[in-house]
Amino acid sequence: MANRVHLAVVGMGFGRSFVPIYQRHPAVERVTICDTNPDLVSEIGDRHGIESRFTRLEDVLSDASIDAVHLLTPVPLHVEQTLAVLQSGKHCACAVPMATDLADLERIVAAEKQTGKVYMMMETSAYSRQYLFVKDMYDKGLFGNLTFLRGAHIQDLEGDYPLYWSAQPPMHYICHAIAPILALTRTRATRVICLGAGKLRADIQQPGGNSFPLQTALFQLEGTAAVAEVTRSWFQVARSFIESFSVYGERRGFEWPVMEDEDPVVFTLDQERPAHRRNASACHVSVPYRPDLLPPELAEFADGGHGGSHPHLVHEFISSIVESRPSAIDAATAANWTATGICANESSLRNGEAVVIPKFD
């Protein structure tokens, strides 16, 4: 392919899973890796036969041969690193969240526009096999008019996680739960009412940081009568890990399973209106991975982590660069998704007062 991309993957923790996918993409000419841990760089570089290696982002940005950068670094670094990548004249993909402050969302939206470079927030739940399955149902009109959508992300972070997670409000990391809802409905949330639940233990709480183990919110969605509910939690909730979304319409519903290793359920409401009672049948469905949506070179990665989303994210980011178009999760889209959590947290700090969510264009 013409215009093949030289891409740098920065952050070899989560980033190591993306390295071989980029190497196999037909539009990627070369992969560079970067991490502040030189031993990790050597390990990953040797494993995948990568000679181009750095331990500083600054060196990546000063290398004129690199066209694009995928940031998989800690959350507190996302904003300034994203701006540095765009302003260096390189395309930028970044792990979630885009930012944790509305002003920083505006800065990134402005930088994408000013530089003319591609930005993409690499939200896994918007490309998981479950989302692709529900999107196919929705596009075929199988749900009918939507009534209610629900997202949840519950994960216990006690242990050897970085301390910044203890200070961060759960809603600041809302993307995995809200993204499939907004992507499916092709809209944005306009207003939120959110409550914080519980009180973070003194040994977990950080000075000046979040005090809620869990936050739960209701969102109004622009251009639709449907309502979305999202619950996020980091601590003190007796529940195994789950990242889920469920969709309910006037004809069918899709419900995430209680346990991660179970199949979801599709409900079908009888369309005939009975004289007495109406029935909704339920059946478990097996959700397929989607290698058919990928270049043949990436098909082997389709059943990987995060619902098989990684190769789909890679393909969309690289395709947007090669085709000179905005990515599917460009800066405005990412800002609209991310602002939901920032505003939800603000509502919880005001004891559930409704907060208007700004629109990013």
> Do 166 and 275 fall within a single domain?
yes
H helix runs in 200-330, sequence order: 305-308, 310-322
How does pLDDT run along the chain (361 residues), one tens digit per residue? 457 999 999 999 999 999 999 999 999 999 999 999 999 999 999 999 999 999 999 999 999 999 999 999 999 999 999 999 999 999 999 999 999 999 999 999 999 999 999 999 999 999 999 999 999 999 999 999 999 999 999 999 999 999 889 999 999 999 999 999 999 999 999 999 999 999 999 999 999 899 999 999 999 999 999 999 999 999 999 999 999 999 999 999 999 999 988 999 999 998 877 777 788 899 999 999 999 999 999 999 999 989 999 999 999 999 999 999 999 999 999 999 999 999 999 999 999 999 999 999 9
Same domain, 112 and 237: no
The overall longest dimension of the chain from CA atoms, in Å, is 73
263 and 192 assigned to the same domain: yes
Indicate whether 149 and 95 sit together in one domain. no
Residue 308 shares a structural domain with residue 262: no
Asked if residue 361 is part of any domain, the answer here is: no
Cβ proximity of 154 and 354 under 8 Å: no
CA atoms within 13 A on the CB side of 158: 10
* pTM, rounded to two decimals: 0.96
Residue 172 sits in the same domain as residue 160: yes
Claim to verify: residue 39 and residue 180 sit in the same structural domain: no
The enclosing domain of 179 has a CATH number of: 3.30.360.10
Give the dihedral sign, CA 320/102/307/264.
Answer: negative
Provide the edge-to-edge strand list for the sheet that holds 355-356.
280-284, 265-269, 252-255, 242-249, 146-154, 227-233, 214-221, 189-197, 355-356
Residues 131 and 259 in one domain: yes
Residue 75, domain member (yes or no): yes
How many angstroms separate the CA atoms of 308 and 301, rounded?
A: 7
Same domain, 155 and 71: no
Range of the domain at 73: 5-123+295-330
Structural domain total, the chain:
2
| Domain assignment of residue 95, yes or no | yes
**C-alpha–C-alpha distance, residues 340 and 102, integer Å:** 10
**Helix extents (H) in 51-203:** 57-62, 78-87, 102-115, 129-139, 164-167, 175-185
CATH code for the domain in which residue 91 is found: 3.40.50.720
Q: Tell whether 268 and 352 lie within a shared domain.
A: yes
The answer to whether residues 323 and 211 belong to one domain is no
* Residue 137 sits in the same domain as residue 265: yes
